[in-house]
Amino acid sequence: MMPLSENHADSGVSFTVNGEHKRVRAFPMERLLDVLRERLGLTGAKEGCGEGECGSCSVLMNGALVNSCLVPVLQAEGASIVTIEGLAPGAQLHALQAAFLECGGAQCGICTPGMILAAAHLLSKKPDPTLEEIREGLSGNLCRCTGYVQIFEAVARAARRAEIASSS
């Protein structure tokens, strides 16, 4: 990471988070994760490892799943970002959130925001994934509690519901 110095201070970065336009003052090399958590108060993204291994800081950036601990904020200029806070508008849960709740996909909850966003990303590419595709699609997000079994069930259940909803 570039050393932080006064010369780089005060650069403004503009992007959209959960549908809202934001302009933040940040060091260009500041991690997107820290900007979201500390400057925008969106603490749903978590730091698990700080090196892109665990996926608990996952957010969607222009529809792609990224580890926000590896994204310098200047790369987010003009981007559209979705965090766990913006997945479901209002009080209603997103189909994946509801399915995680019912199937036991969330235990301690620390990997859950990243895992749900990874699942949302998977379903956006493959609305009706096979078990193998779910296993592969979530393999960048580590969970130490569940052994993943109930997470797979949750993703399959959410996909099934979306299919039923779209066919009716």
Partner 1 sequence: MNGERIVGSAVPRKEGREKVTGQARYVDDMVLPDMLYGATVRSQIPRGRIEQIEFGPGIAWGEFVIVSAKDIPGKNCIALIGDDQPCLASEFVNHPEEPVLLLAHRDRYALRKAVEAVSIECESFPAIFTIEESERCSEIVWGSDNVFKTYCIDKGDIDEVWSKAAYIVEGEYRTGAQEQLYIENNGMIASYDAAEGITVWGSLQCPYYVHKALMVLCSLPAEKVRVVQMETGGAFGGKEEYPSMIAAHAALLAIKSGKPVKMVYDRAEDMAATTKRHPSRTRHRTAVSAEGKILGGEIEFTIDGGAYATLSSVVLSRGLIHAGGPYYWPSVRIHGKAVATNAPPHGAFRGFGAPQSLFAMERHMDRIARVVGLLPIEIRRRNFLKPGEMTTTEQVIRELIDLEKLLERALSLSDYHAKRERFASENRTGTTRRGIGIAAFLHGAGFTGAGERYLSSVVGVEGCSDGGIRVLVSSTEFGQGTKTVLCQIAAEALGLRYEDITIAQPDTMQVPNSGPTVASRTVMVVGKLVESAARGIQQTLRAVGLIGDSYSADEFRAACRSYIGEHGQLRSWAQYEPPPGIFWDDQKYRGEAYAAYSWAVYIAEVSVDMTTYSVSVKDFVALQEVGQVLHPVLAIGQIAGGAAQGIGFALYEKVIWRKGRMQNNQMTNYIMPTSSDLPPIRVFFEELGNVHGAFGAKGIGELPMDGPAPAILNAVEHALGVPFDSIPLLPEDIFEGMTARPSESESVLAGAAR
Using CB under 8 A, list all residues that contact partner 1. Answer: 4, 37-38, 42-51, 53-54, 56, 83-85, 87-88, 93, 97-98, 100-113, 116, 134-136, 138-152
Residue 58 pairs in a beta bridge with 67
Rank residues 12 and 51 by Cβ distance to partner 1 and give the closer one. 51
Rank residues 74 and 110 by Cβ distance to partner 1 and give the closer one. 110
The span from the CA of 34 to the CA of 36, in Å, is 5
Q: Minimum distance from CB of 32 to partner 1 (Å)?
A: 16
Rank residues 50 and 78 by Cβ distance to partner 1 and give the closer one. 50
Residue 86 pairs in a beta bridge with none
Rank residues 144 and 160 by Cβ distance to partner 1 and give the closer one. 144
Q: Minimum distance from CB of 21 to partner 1 (Å)?
A: 21
Rank residues 117 and 167 by Cβ distance to partner 1 and give the closer one. 117
Residues in contact with 77: Cβ distance below 8 Å, sequence separation at least 6, in sequence order: 13, 14, 15
Q: Minimum distance from CB of 121 to partner 1 (Å)?
A: 14
DSSP structure string for 92-128: SPPHHHHHHHHHT--SS-SSHHHHHHHHHHHHHH-SS
Residues in contact with 128: Cβ distance below 8 Å, sequence separation at least 6, in sequence order: 159, 163
Q: Minimum distance from CB of 144 to partner 1 (Å)?
A: 5
Structure tokens at 66: 């990224």
C-beta of residue 21 within 8 angstroms of C-beta of residue 6: no
Q: Minimum distance from CB of 132 to partner 1 (Å)?
A: 9
